[in-house]
Amino acid sequence: MATTSVSKKRMVRINGCVASAQAAKYADVDVIAAYPIRPYTATMMALAQMVANGELDAEYIVADSEHSQLSIAHGAASAGARVFTGSSGVGVQFAYELYSPISGSRMPVQMMIADRTLDPPGDFGSEHTDALSTRDMGWIMGWSCDAQEAFDNHLIAYRIGEDPRVLLPQMVCQDGFFVSHITGDVELPDAGQVKEFLPPYKHPYPLDPRHPVSHGPQIMPEQGPPLQLERARAMEESMAVIEQAHEEFEKIFGRKYDPWLEEFMTDDAEVVFFLQGAHAVTARFAIKHMRDKGLKVGMVRLRTIRPYPTDRVNEVLSKFKVVGVIETNMGLGSVSSGGSLYAEVCAALYESQKRPLILSFMAGMGGEAIVLKEFYWMTQKMVDAQKRGKIEKRTHWVGFEE
């Protein structure tokens, strides 16, 4: 690793894409599998420059499609490399075939996602549907809400995924444009801190001609379930590792994150927003305004959706009277006939003794910003429901209703 440019801790002003690239550089990745698609492309551009400038010693492979990109990542990880790849929108979908094989063969590939709305038609804006559609493929997955958090999440995800108790791939997601292309202050750590936090990657059975092994052979039907059970166990047991990694991260870098849920102004809140990603930044601002007007509103932000912290969601959301889920994703014909996050929230609360009322807000779709007055409008809907003691309807299309 060329360490000159990453030796000392310093503040920089960069966007989310560049923060991700910086994180890959600090993680000293061995192989980068790239294929362009907006908006994540900026990450690969930054990494290409780093490799070209000699800042990072890595194999930079330009694939001929996202499918190849993930195949390269799979193969490189199998050979024992720390791999970084990424995509956006329909690119994420094109590689779909590889998600289960990669987690099934327990390869801790890391994929950066800068969300982009799926077609039709071409829309560059952010929407979480691209990555969320792969949520059950055995990848550790969560959203960042700003450039600093994106940087930190990449390092934390490598540490979790490569833990011998886990060995699972990770999708480190950030909203396209709202995070990927908006510049923010990012503290780049001291190289020594990263070295301390992230040990070198070592797979127990890498492909090596000197010690031949067979990865992914055909199996008998009855041999399938044990493998699935083991993969499920790895996902479940990663929860302890995730918590441990966040604690360790705070110790070394001084930044504290709850691994599962960020709570904002929830101490005496009666109604709360439940969301993922970048719109939390606007939400915080809106909530402060509404608090000034005396509304008891707060926000709970989901930081890790896979593994899903069912018990924590149950415990935290049971404190409130009304929960408004801001979807930022499409779940056509789903439980709420809106987004897919609603079902996750409801399921977590099913066993609660104090179930709050739950609303689903279709907002931030197609890359639209959720503006302050829309937060006020949604808050009003929650307050109305609280007063009424029941919901008017499950799902509201924000901006299209009175």
Residue 271 CB, shortest distance to other proteins, in Å, is 32
* Pick 95 or 102: Cβ nearer other proteins: 102
* Pick 52 or 229: Cβ nearer other proteins: 229
DSSP code, position 279? H
Let me know: does 107 contact 169? Beta carbons within 8 Å: yes
Tell me the CA distances in angstroms from 110 to 50, 265, 277, 395, one per residue in order: 18, 33, 19, 34
Residue 220 CB, shortest distance to other proteins, in Å, is 6
Q: What is the rounded distance in angstroms from the CA atom of residue 140 to the CA atom of residue 161?
A: 8
Binding site for other proteins (CB under 8 A): 104-106, 167, 204-205, 212-223, 225-227, 229-233, 236-237
Rounded (5°) CA angle 147-371-187: 15
N-to-C CA span, the chain: 58
Q: What is the rounded distance in angstroms from the CA atom of residue 343 to the CA atom of residue 334?
A: 8
* Pick 231 or 303: Cβ nearer other proteins: 231
Residue 122 CB, shortest distance to other proteins, in Å, is 38
* Pick 183 or 228: Cβ nearer other proteins: 228
Residue 343 CB, shortest distance to other proteins, in Å, is 18
Q: What is the rounded distance in angstroms from the CA atom of residue 14 to the CA atom of residue 97?
A: 33
* Pick 121 or 204: Cβ nearer other proteins: 204
342 residue type, one letter? Y
| 48: nearest Cα among 18, 92, 76 | 18
Residue 205 CB, shortest distance to other proteins, in Å, is 5
* Pick 52 or 213: Cβ nearer other proteins: 213
* Pick 52 or 232: Cβ nearer other proteins: 232
393 residue type, one letter? K
Tell me the CA distances in angstroms from 170 to 37, 165, 225, one per residue in order: 20, 14, 23
Residue 312 CB, shortest distance to other proteins, in Å, is 14
Residue 306 CB, shortest distance to other proteins, in Å, is 14
Q: What is the rounded distance in angstroms from the CA atom of residue 348 to the CA atom of residue 309?
A: 8
